[in-house]
Amino acid sequence: MTDRADVVFSCRDLHVFVEDREIVRGVDLEVRAGEKHAIMGPNGSGKSTLAAALMGHPAYRVEGVIELGGERVDGLPAHERARRGMFLGFQYPVAVPGVSVASFLRAAVSARRGEEVPIREFRKMLAEAFETLSIPKEFMGRSLNDGFSGGEKKRLEILQMLLLRPRFALLDEIDSGLDIDALKVVSEGIERAAGPEMGLLLVTHYQRILEYVRPDVVHVFMGGRIVRSGGPELALELEERGYDWLQPDAGPVEAAS
């Protein structure tokens, strides 16, 4: 019998619906502590829908089993999954005018811990994280994501991951809209946050970020299903050949917005 003690995240026979329309059509996935997995696929294949549904987005109806550290979480709302150690880095982070970056992050870290984080400890953590991701310290007092560039928003997503130390992190196209310098900084932050106790699932269109965040496993997602899995070399093959040579059993599914 396979030892599952180090499995930080798994889903089995996962189906995701928007009303009566099936978007994700039966996904089995298992991520162990210290592993980095990448999901690649064309537009409209359902990758972002999968990530949002795993985190508990209320717009989706889910059938199947989702487990975090061996505990079922598919019946929990998103904030409870986050408290238990799941993290979702958004493709399009939302601006929250009037809420400062520092206030938001302190509240998030306190919620993750289940107790108020001491202000002196938090300031030290925040300063170190800002330095790691080359974020100017004046951003601490700015409203969350309000007026930020795409690259600045993505750095703040990774900064949250650094501070929250999740058991399992989902990063939904965190590389979209980044120039090469911002991509390197964000990738370094991901590598810094990823450790031997955390599992990572990175959703991306392109192989470029995988040159910096090297995955243990690459999954190809088409038509709402994982149609092939392999090592890092699979991402290189996709970069060379595209997706047409891998045909799912059914046609592509348009992902819900």
Task: Give yes or no for residue 61 having a pLDDT over 60.
Answer: yes
1: confidence class by pLDDT, cuts 50, 70, 90: very low
**Which pair of tokens denotes residue 166?**
């999740």
CA distance readout (Å), 256 to 17, 22, 144, 232: 9, 10, 26, 29
pLDDT at position 91: 83
Take residue 49 and report the two structure tokens written for it: 């829908």
C-alpha gyration radius of the chain: 18
Residue 44: its pLDDT value, please? 86
pLDDT score at 132:
85
Residue 248: pLDDT band by 50, 70, 90 thresholds? low
Cα separation, 202 vs 191, whole angstroms: 12
d(CA 132, CA 6): 28
Mean pLDDT of 202-214: 91
Is residue 3 very low, low, confident or very high in pLDDT (cuts 50, 70, 90)? low
What integer best gives the mean pLDDT of the chain? 90
Contact 159, 189 (CB under 8 A): yes
Band of pLDDT at residue 187, cut at 50, 70 and 90: very high
Rounded mean pLDDT of 6-12? 96
Q: Report how far Cα 46 is from the mean position of its chain's Cα atoms.
A: 14
Closest CA to 168 of 98, 87, 111: 87
Q: Work out the widest C-alpha separation in the chain, in whole angstroms.
A: 55
C-alpha span between 25 and 8 (Å, rounded) = 23
Name the nearest CA neighbour of 182 among 133, 226, 218, 255: 133
More confident call, 13 vs 243: 13
| pLDDT of res. 73 | 97
**How would you label 118-137 residue by residue, b for 16+ Cβ within 10 Å and e otherwise?**
eeeebeebbeebbebbebee
pLDDT band at 193 (very low <50, low <70, confident <90, very high): confident
7-92+166-241: CATH superfamily: P-loop containing nucleotide triphosphate hydrolases (3.40.50.300)
Place of tokens 């958004």: 90
Coil/strand/helix, residue 3: coil
Provide the Cα torsion 78, 81, 86, 87; round to 10°.
20
**Domain definitions of the chain by residue range:** 7-92+166-241
Which of 33-47, 160-174, 237-251 is predicted with the least confidence, judged by mean pLDDT?
237-251
Q: For every residue of 148-187, which 3-state class applies, written as one string?
A: CCHHHHHHHHHHHHHHHCCCEEEEECCCCCCCHHHHHHHH
As a whole number of angstroms, the distance between CA 159 and CA 79 comes to 18
How far is 153 from 144, CA to CA, in rounded Å?
9
